[in-house]
Amino acid sequence: QVQLVESGGGLVQPGGSLRLSCAASGSRVSINVMGWYRQAPGKQRELVASLPSGGSTTYEDSVKGRFTISRDNAKNTVYLQMNSLKPEDTAVYYCHAQIKILGLSYNYWGQGTQVTVSS
């Protein structure tokens, strides 16, 4: 069982910045993928950014050039640096982790952290 604890959400004005952190614990195997999803009111959860271990990043088109995902494998922690925030970035942001055991994938989610971009 993998536990994910997020931090760093809050209220920020348009154009501002926030940094989200997510620390994973409890995994007995290396975490394959860590990333961030978000869900705005009335919308489906969507991928924001994903970073496989030893792989290349994936970003949702609307955040490219503004958000940066990074990972500290030694600490099992993933970060999301969000710059030039827009009101449409307002959502609950969820940390995601995926591990693989004997070819099967297991997905885990954090509790979510609210990001509100408003003047």
pLDDT tens, residue by residue, 70-113: 999 889 999 999 999 999 999 999 999 999 888 899 999 999 99
pLDDT category of residue 55 using cuts at 50, 70 and 90 = confident
Which among 106, 111, 91 has a CA at the least distance from the CA of 23? 111
pLDDT tens, residue by residue, 57-78: 999 999 999 999 999 988 999 9
Strand stretches in the chain, DSSP E: 3-7, 10-12, 18-25, 31-39, 46-52, 58-59, 67-72, 77-82, 91-101, 104-109, 113-117
Cβ atoms of 78 and 71 within 8 Å: the answer is yes
Residue 118 has pLDDT above 90, yes or no: yes
Question: Cβ contacts of residue 63 below 8 Å, gap of 6+?
Answer: 48, 49, 82, 89
pLDDT score at 54: 80
Averaged pLDDT of the chain: 95
Select the more confidently predicted residue: 18 or 1.
18
